[in-house]
Amino acid sequence: MDLLADRPDVPQDGPPDGPPAPADNRHGGMV
């Protein structure tokens, strides 16, 4: 998962940036 590691705005322990809808609601945006 180089995508998560390359993106500091995306938590590595969180879900992939594939589904932005559920991930955005669950993490309250970019946390």
pTM assigned to the model: 0.14
CA atoms 11, 16, 18, 20: torsion sign: negative
- Residue 16: predicted pLDDT: 62
pLDDT in tens, 1-31: 555 556 666 565 656 666 555 555 555 555 5
Segments making up each domain of the chain, as ranges: 1-31
